[in-house]
A and B are shown apart, each in its own frame.
Chain A
Amino acid sequence: MKQKAMIQKVGYAVFLVLFLFIMIAPMLYMISASFMSEADLNVIPPKLLPSAPSLANYARALVQQPILKYVYNSFVITIIAVAICITAGSMASYALTRTNIRFKTTFLVFVLAISLLPTITLINPIFKMYSKLGLLNTHIGLAVIISVLDLPMTIWFLTAVLKNVPISFEESAKLDGANMFQIFIYILVPLLKASIFSISILVFIGAWNRFLLSQVLNQYEDYRTVVVGLTLYQTTHTIPFGVVAAAGLITIFPLLAMVLLFQKNILGGIMEGGVKE
């Protein structure tokens, strides 16, 4: 018995190390590359570790482009987008699962179908619209269109989750005289905390990574997002990977910090929910 447990433990440890390594290998390479000089990066066969580590790439990354401003823009736009998406989406899911409106299935199916339209088709019409409304090169303009792109997924996801939540809590609250909105805010939202956090992270990262729309709608430097900014390091056919890696890392750290913060919230439920085996 003891031997089997030992083998299991060792096997598990090996698997864990291997798995972690594969997941973070590209990031390890990025970190290494950010300290390497161009010469190191271009040599054949490619080097894995810098021969003379230096912060030159980081300096260049910060000077060549206002990357920190881009990070700020991305944060503002993404947070607004997530806020809009989650608010509108959760309200819609509630309406679809707890009220007596008609054409629920139709709405769901329609929303799904319309979300299948390739994003490219949005560019020209939205550009024209925003140009007339003066929403080009603003935080709110880009945030709104980005939030709508993930709205169908949010609605579907939260609808699926809400259907599984027993209605008993709400019924007793109704008996106590609470109205629709109060039930929604004080009972359901806390219950759905984990799901809402999960979908928020997904919408957040999706919004953060939106490239085409960000490039076309927010062309001016003051409102540019990070993903577009990263493409501007390339000059005359070559991408200075060391600098791009440094810039990329500068932008990832706030993202990771935020994600780690939320991650505790989503998965905190495991501790309370009891331990399996």
Chain B
Amino acid sequence: MMKKKVFAILALTASMTLGACGSGNKNVQQEGSKAPESVTINYYGRPDDNGVESTIVTAFEKEYPNIKVNYVELPDSSNDRLKTINTVLQAGDSSIDVFAGDVIWPPIFASAGWVIPLDEYLQEGELDAYLPGPLSAFQIQEKTWGLPFMADAGALYYRKDLLEKYGKEVPQTWDELVAVGKEIAEQEGDMSGFVSYWKQNESLTSSMLEFYWEKGGEVVDENGKCVLDEAKLAETLAEMRAMIDNKAVVSGIETFDTKASRNVVCAGGAVFSRDWLSGYGPFNSEESAVAGNMEITVLPSYGCLGGWGVMVSAYSKNKEAAVEFARYRANYESQLTACELVDIKPTLRAAYEDQNLAARKPELPKYLPVLEAAKPRPQSPFYAEISGIMQLEIHSVITGMTAPEKSAANIVTKVSELLQ
């Protein structure tokens, strides 16, 4: 009787264990069994536009048959992604192993201790392959907290045909730009000198920083302390307001988002535009009225660095596998794939020197100077809140609700308070 019972219990336990091992999509690691270790990691990636993420994931799984990747799609908007990722990491939960993050996130996540530095997993010289600009966004205090796989930067777009027609050179300063733009627009009629998107969001801060940096202003120093120059800030805000007052920009610019601004450009409504690198495609696509005439160059002084990279969660239970995937996601093949499928701009220098790629994407070399002139946004863990404060005040000035000096003073006061 006893023997039967014992046998029955053993059989039951064995079948239950086998059942648990067989269920899919769980972080189960078979320990001590004879079969090869198979691990599942969760990758919280970007939207699967044109199948880009799933293609890369499939390729990775082929090369690493022991690692299964559960790809979880998150929305495109940086803030929406942040809500989910923030919640999981704050709970110290292990559901995220590796994720795609905005370039402005590393300071936050690193200081929170939610991501691990990748240096110990990387090979000698692996980091040199990356363009210094995009990589710098992920390097804080001598450590690398992520690998960039998509580069972006603020760029200046101009109507090549119009500049030629009026015998103008590409402007080297913002003042020149405003003047030339206005002149041409007046002559042409029915268009404006400049268009961008100055709705109250992160891009507004980026735009302002690009003006502010030309004057030599800075926001934070290496120690994270506030070094805002109130006078330069006030000047910047005043100039932005003046651009609207003097009709040097499209009316309604303060309500424009990316799409609205691009629509204006494509309809031939502006001489100059400030947009991210991703604007080049739409501006020169078949549906655009100005296809072939919209060229790209560096902004006067610096453009804001943008883009995305992979980071590995500190709470992951499969760190080695996660890092393998991170390295793969940011490597040459993946970036080529993504470039083909969704026209992202690579972060590896070799990609810009690749003849095959250049043949298929002739505009690729044009992005390099822009990327090299890109400057990361203030690398403070409090950047999101700094940007929030700035967005409000900047928008207040450009809609005429407050005076530039007052807003500049507000920004300096609030940011200093925040950073002390």
**Which residues does A use to contact B, with CB under 8 Å?**
38-39, 42-44, 64, 123-124, 127-128, 131, 136, 212, 215-216, 219-221, 231-232, 234-239
7 A-B pairs with CB atoms under 8 Å apart are A127-B88, A128-B91, A216-B87, A220-B72, A236-B342, A237-B76, A237-B276
Report whether B73 and A237 are in contact in the complex, using a CB–CB cutoff of 8 Å.
Answer: no
Q: Is B266 an interface residue (CB 8 A)?
A: yes
Query: In whole angstroms, what is the CA distance A220 to B263 when docked?
Result: 34
CB-CB nearest in chain B for A220: B72
B245 beta carbon closer than 8 Å to chain A: no
Identify 13 new A-B residue pairs, CB closer than 8 A, beyond the known A231-B75, A238-B258: A38-B287, A42-B259, A127-B91, A212-B83, A216-B84, A219-B44, A220-B70, A231-B80, A232-B73, A232-B75, A234-B77, A237-B76, A237-B258
Those of B268-287 within 8 Å (CB) of chain A: 269, 276, 278, 287
Residues of B within 8 A of A (CB): 25, 44, 47-49, 70, 72-77, 80, 83-84, 87-88, 90-91, 93, 95, 257-259, 262-264, 266-267, 269, 276, 278, 287, 342
With a cutoff of 8 Å between Cβ atoms, the chain A residues found around residue B48 in the complex are: 64
Name B's interface SS: mixed
Task: Name the prevailing secondary structure of the A interface residues.
Answer: helix
CA distance A234 to B287 in the complex (A): 20
**Residues in chain A near residue B73, CB distance under 8 A:** 221, 232
The residues of B that contact A39 with a CB separation of less than 8 Å are: 287
Q: Is the CB of B259 within 8 A of A43?
A: no
Q: How far is the CA of A191 from the CA of B128 in the complex (A)?
A: 76
CB distance from A248 to the nearest CB of B (A): 16
Give how many A-B residue pairs fall within 8 Å (CB-CB): 74
3 interchain residue pairs of minimum CB distance: A237-B258, A235-B49, A39-B287
Please pick, from A124, A136, A212, A236, the residue contacting B278 in the complex, using a CB distance under 8 A.
Answer: A236
Q: Which residues of A contact B91 (CB under 8 A)?
A: 124, 127-128, 131
Residue of B nearest to A131 (CB): B93
B201 to chain A, nearest CB (A): 10
Decide: A238 and B87 in contact? CB cutoff 8 A.
no
Q: Which of chain B's residues have a CB closer than 8 A to the CB of A44? A: 263-264, 267, 269
CB distance from B220 to the nearest CB of A (A): 26
Residue among B48, B75, B269 with max Cβ neighbours from chain A (10 Å): B75
Is B263 in contact with A42, judged by CB distance below 8 angstroms? yes
Which one of A44, A123, A231, A237 has the greatest number of beta carbons of chain B within 10 Å?
A: A237
Q: How far is the CB of A42 from chain B (nearest CB, A)?
A: 5
* Contact between A127 and B87, CB atoms less than 8 A apart: yes
Q: How far is the CB of B89 from chain A (nearest CB, A)?
A: 11
Q: Is the CB of A238 within 8 A of B259?
A: yes
Closest to B278 in A: A236
Partner of A131, one of B44, B95, B267, B287: B95
CB distance from B303 to the nearest CB of A (A): 16
Closest to B286 in A: A39
Which residues of chain B are near A238, meaning CB under 8 Å? 258-259, 262
Task: Tell me if B259 and A239 are in contact (CB < 8 A).
Answer: yes
Known pairs A38-B287, A39-B287; A234 contacts B87 (CB<8 A): no
A235 and B278 CA atoms in complex are apart in Å by 11
Which interface residue of B77, B87, B88, B257 has the most chain A CB atoms within 10 A? B87
**Of B76, B269, B287, which one neighbours A235 at CB under 8 angstroms?**
B76
Which B residue's beta carbon lies closest to that of A241?
B259
User: Least Cβ distance of A69 to chain B in Å?
Assistant: 13
- Also in contact, A123 and B87, with CB within 8 A (given A234-B77, A236-B76): yes
Give the docked Cα–Cα distance between A66 and B419 (Å).
Answer: 45
In the bound complex, CA of A22 to CA of B274 (Å): 38
A215 in contact with B84 (CB, 8 Å): yes
Closest to A134 in B: B26
| B259 surroundings in chain A (CB, below 8 A) | 42, 237-239
Among A216, A236, A238, the most chain B Cβ lie within 10 Å of the Cβ of A236
**Complex contact B84–A235 (CB within 8 A):** no
Question: Are A43 and B267 interface neighbours, CB within 8 A?
Answer: yes
Query: Closest chain A residue to B91 by CB distance?
Result: A128
State how many angstroms separate the Cβ of B310 from the closest Cβ of chain A. Answer: 18
In the complex, what distance in Å separates the CA atom of A239 from the CA atom of B70? 26
Beyond A42-B259, A232-B73, A237-B76, whether A128 also contacts B267 by CB under 8 A is no
Known: A43-B267, A44-B263, A237-B276. A216 touches B83 (CB 8 A): yes
Asked, given contacts A42-B259, A127-B88, A127-B93, whether A215 binds B76 with beta carbons under 8 Å apart, the answer is no
Closest to A125 in B: B91
Please report the C-alpha to C-alpha distance between residue A236 and residue B266 in the assembled complex, in whole angstroms: 17
Nearest residue (CB) in A for B26 is A134
Distance of A120 Cα from B44 Cα, bound (Å) = 22
Which residues of B are found within 8 Å of A64, using beta-carbon distances?
48
**Which of B44, B70, B95, B257 has the most chain A CB atoms inside 10 A of its CB?**
B95
